[in-house]
Structure 1
Amino acid sequence: MVRSVLPGIAFSRAVVSRVATGVCWLMLVAAGAGIGVQVSAEPGSVNPDLSAPTQDARDHYGSGKVEFVGIQLEDKLEIPGLKKSQLAVVADKYPVRALNHRWKTYTNIEKQPQEYRRLHRYAVRYNLMMWKLENSPTSDRFKYRY
């Protein structure tokens, strides 16, 4: 059975069905492209953009900005994720950026256990990846790139 869709052009039912299916899939794909999954922090957090520590470490290392992160406590700067021997090297050679800033208007991180755990988790993953990137030898495969 032939079905006329456009004046002067006839299509079979199978062709019309395939075109309709393709259009539906295209609409679903286009609608799905606008939907993005975004991981965000709590509304009252100090740093809402701390969601991808390993990717942040790779990006900073790739741009030549080698630095480690820490958490500023009341009496010291804590650098989580590194061993004592690694901490000595980091203290001598690399800058350390505090994830939280202790201003007089902010509440102390010690009084916010959820925020402290979130910063600690981010700092551990970031510091481990930065240490791995900075201290692992490059393989021969990347040595002679043109």
Structure 2
Amino acid sequence: MSIFTLPYYRTFRQNTLLPILAIVRSAKLRKDEAELAAMLSSWRDRKLQELYFIQVAATLLSAAAIGCLSWETPDHEHWVGPAAWYCSLVLSLFSVLLSTSQSFIFTTIIRKESRAGTKSQPPIFEHDILIIRRIVKNEDSLRSINTSSRT
């Protein structure tokens, strides 16, 4: 996990890993399910906002890369320039598509939960509890990875 998140590990740790570990700690302490549902809901909202930000940033990057199409190319240019341009164009378009699909999935899950939940009972499902239990089992390995990355 550290290799995949190396370029943005601090953001990943603050916005994803530590909130998940806080939710796991609350589940371990057997806190109220309403509080657990509220923590899950706020985490999902933050992740959805993060996906929207990535969509906007990737759209701007792809627009800038596409804007370079009108530039004149020099006769004797090195191959690295066009290769980097095409790579940035492909990666920015890929990030737009990926963040759009992930935000669609998140939005669908949130809508499904809001329809299933009633006003008196917060929308928390068995699937969320199973994920939290799996993280509780693997929390020691996550904690060792987290502390080893700090040192």
Please report the TM-score for the alignment, with normalisation by the length of structure 2: 0.28
Which one scores higher on RCO, CA 8 angstroms, separation ≥ 6? 2
Larger radius of gyration: 1
Structure with greater helix share of residues: 2
Q: Which has the higher strand share?
A: 1
